[in-house]
Amino acid sequence: MRVVISAVSSARRPSGICRHAANLAIALSQYSDVSLTLLVGDWQLGYFQDAFGLPAVACDIVPIAIAANAVARNFWYYLRLPEIAQHYRADLVHLSFPAPLRRSQFQCPIVLSLHDLYPYDAPRNFGYSRVLFNRVFLRQSLRASDAIVCSSRFTLDRLRRYAGQAAMQKAMHIYQSVTLDSSADAAPAALHHLRQPFLLAVAQHRRNKNLDLLLAAFGRFRQQASKQEFRLVIVGSPGPETTALHAMVKRLSLQQHVVFLSELSDKELCFLYRKCELMIVPSSIEGFCFPLVEAVRCGSRVLCSDIPVLREIGESRCDYFPLQPRNPAALAAAIEAALLKPPPPPHISDRFRPDKIACQYLALYSTLLAGGRQSAFPPQLCHESVS
């Protein structure tokens, strides 16, 4: 089976959709009868190789040389991806996120990974004009795909609100594969000399991540004499909120106590998960949340906002705080309470194991290649082992 995974995106640093594509390739590469081609922008090649460790797996990574802007990228998906799929004799094309497609030009099934409904649920992440284009591309991609795989039950439920019956007949949910090796870590260069205890957040600088709420709560948390040695480490790609977040750090006089990092390898992330006193996920909406699962896998204490998708993913292994009203004092108190609990043992749920996820995807791919409806395949029943 020849599978082409397309991950050409605007991201110049590791992001959730890029991690999904890399993890999917790692999971599928365990099968000797699957030939994998991963398409990335040439500006993405470095972090796919270095941060995600893809050279170690049986996957052909092909850099695409186009301009790194939205217009060139969308035209590439619409005009060039069908030709590339044909060139690599793809039996199936897997889009790692929604993109505009000319379905009539593809000679094979198309699977679409749908992580979230941010164009509708978090429009401020895009801005007014861009969100309209993203909504159009989302709907067009839903129509063109033969199967739509949502990364959580929550995302599948959100899709029901915005998509028509035709899209829902093609939709299902398969959780994300989480491949982080919790036994291998390396301290980030910027933190080699960090000796103080630290709190951790792993999130892009976007409105729905609520990093401003976390900063305000951290400022209150440090007002106690016993907590003044703590630092806050925020790992994530810059985004629309970056300028405001740095201004807030300065306004709260936290410059010596807040560290912003990005472009970390999996080993460096693992080090932070293992060494932090508490991992905090204060998001108002998510589609899945890789950092939550990775932190649990590494044995972190985890404190999450009490929203449905984080309850679904974190279950009883995390502590939760009410997000509404947005109260920094309440979050600071929740941080204190979570720190009093013993760290949990490292854990990876069967729901996110690469072999289980690969099995579910291969069953879906096989059903599509056989000409059947993907809805006939119940992914929860897949318990095959890797050959």
Give the total number of structural domains in the chain.
Answer: 2
CA-CA distance, 207 to 221, in Å (whole number)?
A: 22
CA-CA distance, 38 to 4, in Å (whole number)?
A: 6
Say yes or no: 316 and 357 in one domain: no
Say yes or no: 196 and 332 in one domain: yes
For the ranges 146-150, 342-346, 371-375, 382-386, which has the lowest average pLDDT?
382-386
The domain in which residue 21 lies consists of 2-177+353-381
In a domain, 345, yes or no: no
pLDDT-above-70 percentage for the chain: 95
Say yes or no: 299 and 239 in one domain: yes
In a domain, 258, yes or no: yes
Q: What is the mean pLDDT of the segment spanning 51-68?
A: 83
CA angle 199, 281, 294 (to 5 degrees): 85
Confidence of residue 339 (pLDDT cuts 50, 70, 90): very high
In a domain, 119, yes or no: yes
Say yes or no: 29 and 134 in one domain: yes
Q: Has residue 235 got a pLDDT over 80?
A: yes
Token pair of 201, please?
């957040």
In a domain, 386, yes or no: no
In a domain, 348, yes or no: no
pLDDT for 55 equals 66
pLDDT for 307 equals 97
Q: Which of 26-35, 116-125, 149-158 has the highest mean pLDDT?
A: 149-158
In a domain, 235, yes or no: yes
pLDDT for 336 equals 96
In a domain, 182, yes or no: no
Say yes or no: 321 and 238 in one domain: yes
* CB atoms closer than 10 angstroms to residue 22: 29
Instruction: Please answer whether residues 198 and 233 qualify as being in contact, where contact means their C-beta atoms are separated by less than 8 angstroms.
Output: yes
pLDDT tens-place string over residues 199-230: 999 999 999 999 999 999 999 999 987 888 99
Q: Residue 284's domain is classified under what CATH number?
A: 3.40.50.2000
Give whole-number Cα distances, 67 to 8, 9, 42, 76, 131, in Å: 11, 11, 9, 10, 21
Instruction: Please answer whether residues 272 and 200 qualify as being in contact, where contact means their C-beta atoms are separated by less than 8 angstroms.
Output: yes
Confidence of residue 372 (pLDDT cuts 50, 70, 90): low
Confidence of residue 375 (pLDDT cuts 50, 70, 90): very low
Amino acid type, 356: K
For the ranges 31-35, 91-95, 134-138, 223-227, which has the lowest average pLDDT?
223-227
Confidence of residue 5 (pLDDT cuts 50, 70, 90): very high
In a domain, 184, yes or no: no
pLDDT for 133 equals 86
Say yes or no: 317 and 239 in one domain: yes
Say yes or no: 128 and 213 in one domain: no
Q: Has residue 47 got a pLDDT over 50?
A: yes
pTM score: 0.90
Cα Rg for the chain, rounded, in angstroms? 21
Q: Classify residue 261 as left (phi > 0), alpha (psi -120 to 50) or beta.
A: beta
Percentages helix, strand, coil for the chain (3-state, rounded to 5) are 45, 15, 40
β partners of residue 113: 149
Say yes or no: 45 and 166 in one domain: yes
CA-CA distance, 200 to 277, in Å (whole number)?
A: 8
Q: What is the mean pLDDT of the segment spanning 318-342?
A: 95
pLDDT for 381 equals 41
Q: What is the mean pLDDT of the segment spanning 105-129?
A: 90
Tell me what the pLDDT averaged over the chain comes to.
91
Q: Has residue 54 got a pLDDT over 80?
A: no
Confidence of residue 329 (pLDDT cuts 50, 70, 90): very high
Q: Has residue 326 got a pLDDT over 60?
A: yes
Say yes or no: 20 and 161 in one domain: yes
Say yes or no: 317 and 359 in one domain: no
pLDDT for 225 equals 77
CA-CA distance, 253 to 258, in Å (whole number)?
A: 10
Give whole-number Cα distances, 137 to 131, 133, 146, 169, 197, in Å: 10, 6, 16, 19, 44
Q: What is the mean pLDDT of the segment spanning 17-35?
A: 92
Say yes or no: 194 and 172 in one domain: no
Alpha helices in 52-199 (DSSP H): 70-75, 81-87, 118-121, 128-144, 153-162, 165-168
Look at 58 and 356; give whichever has higher pLDDT: 356
Say yes or no: 231 and 115 in one domain: no
